[in-house]
C-alpha cells in the first residue's frame, strides 16, 4: 500500500432524481480533487436513492448504461477513483444494491451487497462475491451498510489482500450522534481485528420518499482508532490521509496484527 488521501462524501440522495444526483456528485468530486484526494466514496445507493418499497424496482438502472459511462468520464476528467452506489437491475430482472468503482482508465468493477437486512429482503437480491479491488495504489474491499455487522466478511477481505474496507451506508435510523455511537460499537473492531483502514459514510437528510438519514462519515485506522470524523448531520466532505506507515506499523507488530495467528481449524462447528 502507498499513502493515499481519500474523500468520504455525506450526500443527500432524493429518490427518483438520478440525473440530478449524478450532476451534484460532480461538485463534490471537484471539491475532493481540490483537497488532493485520489479516491472519493459516496454512500450506498446515492445515485438512485434508497428504499425498501416496490418503487425501488422502477428506480433501478442497468449497468454499465448511462450511469457507468457518465462516471467513467468524470473519473477520467478529474483523475479520480470514484465509488458510487445505485439500485442495479439485471437483464434477468433481479435487483441488487450495487456499488460501482470507476477510475481514470475506466471501470474497475462492481460490488453487490451480500448481506441483505431483513427489511430489504423483499426488495433486493443478495450478491455472491467479495471482490478486492486495486486502484490508486491500494487494495480495498467494499461492504454496504448491513454487511459491516458480520466479522467473517471483513476477515475474508483482509485475507484476500484488502488494506482498506470502504463501508458506504444508507441507514435512516437515529440522530447523527446515535449513528456514530452505533458505528463505534463495531467499525473499530472490523479495522483493529483485521489490520485494515475503514472508511464509512452515510446519506444525509430527507430523501423525498419518507426517509430521513443522519449524515456522518468516519475514517478508522488499522489500530482501531478514529483518524477523522464528521457528525453534524449535513451534506459534506470528510478528507483523510490513509498513512501507509500506520498500516506497516500495525502489521509488523507481533501483538497488534492478528491475522497471521488465526486458527481456522478451531472455528468449525463441533459435530
Residues of the domain holding 13: 4-255
DSSP-derived secondary structure letter, 160: T
Binning pLDDT at 50, 70 and 90, where does residue 42 land?
very high
Residue 84 located in a structural domain: yes
Question: Residue 3 contacts by C-beta under 8 Å, 6 or more apart in sequence?
Answer: 241, 242, 243, 244, 245
Residue 264 located in a structural domain: no
Element (H, E) at 241: strand 236-242
Question: Residue 86 contacts by C-beta under 8 Å, 6 or more apart in sequence?
Answer: 18, 45, 46, 47, 48, 60, 61, 63, 67, 98, 100
Q: Count of domains in the chain?
A: 1
Residue 217 located in a structural domain: yes
Question: Residue 29 contacts by C-beta under 8 Å, 6 or more apart in sequence?
Answer: 40, 74, 78, 80, 82
Of 33-37, 64-68, 165-169, 175-179, least confident by mean pLDDT is 64-68
Residue 157 located in a structural domain: yes
Of 57-66, 149-158, 240-249, least confident by mean pLDDT is 57-66
Residue 265 located in a structural domain: no
Residue 261 located in a structural domain: no
Which CATH number do you get for residue 250? 3.60.110.10
Q: Quick one: pLDDT at residue 173?
A: 84
Residue 237 located in a structural domain: yes
Q: Could you read off the pLDDT of 46-103 as tens digits, one per residue?
A: 999 999 998 899 899 999 889 999 999 999 999 999 999 999 999 999 999 999 999 9
Crossing angle for the helix pair 151-159 and 176-194, to the nearest 10 degrees: 40
Residue 198 located in a structural domain: yes
Amino acid at each position: 500500500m502507498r499513502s493515499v488521501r481519500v474523500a468520504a462524501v455525506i450526500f443527500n440522495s432524493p429518490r427518483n432524481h438520478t440525473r440530478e444526483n449524478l450532476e451534484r456528485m460532480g461538485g463534490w468530486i471537484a471539491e475532493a480533487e481540490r483537497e488532493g484526494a485520489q479516491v472519493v466514496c459516496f454512500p450506498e445507493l446515492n445515485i438512485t436513492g434508497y428504499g425498501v418499497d416496490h418503487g425501488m424496482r422502477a428506480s433501478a438502472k442497468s449497468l454499465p448504461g448511462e450511469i457507468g459511462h457518465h462516471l467513467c468520464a468524470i473519473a477520467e476528467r478529474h483523475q479520480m477513483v470514484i465509488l458510487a452506489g445505485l439500485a442495479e437491475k439485471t437483464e434477468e430482472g433481479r435487483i441488487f444494491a450495487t456499488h460501482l468503482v470507476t477510475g481514470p482508465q475506466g471501470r474497475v468493477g462492481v460490488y453487490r451487497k451480500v448481506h441483505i437486512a431483513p427489511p430489504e429482503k423483499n426488495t433486493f437480491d443478495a450478491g455472491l462475491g467479495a471482490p478486492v479491488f486495486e486502484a490508486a495504489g491500494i487494495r480495498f474491499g467494499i461492504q454496504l451498510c448491513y454487511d459491516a455487522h458480520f466479522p467473517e466478511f471483513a476477515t475474508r477481505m483482509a485475507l484476500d489482500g484488502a488494506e482498506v474496507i470502504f463501508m458506504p451506508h444508507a441507514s435512516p435510523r437515529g440522530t447523527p450522534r446515535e449513528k456514530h455511537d452505533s458505528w463505534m460499537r463495531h467499525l473499530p473492531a472490523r479495522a483493529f481485528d483485521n489490520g485494515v483502514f475503514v472508511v464509512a459514510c452515510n446519506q444525509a437528510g430527507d430523501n423525498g420518499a419518507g426517509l430521513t438519514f443522519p449524515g456522518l462519515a468516519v475514517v478508522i485506522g488499522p489500530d482501531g482508532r478514529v483518524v477523522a470524523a464528521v457528525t453534524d448531520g449535513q451534506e459534506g466532505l470528510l478528507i483523510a490521509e490513509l498513512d501507509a506507515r500506520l498500516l506497516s506499523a500495525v502489521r509488523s507488530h507481533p501483538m497488534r496484527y492478528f491475522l497471521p495467528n488465526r486458527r481456522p481449524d478451531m472455528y468449525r462447528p463441533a459435530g
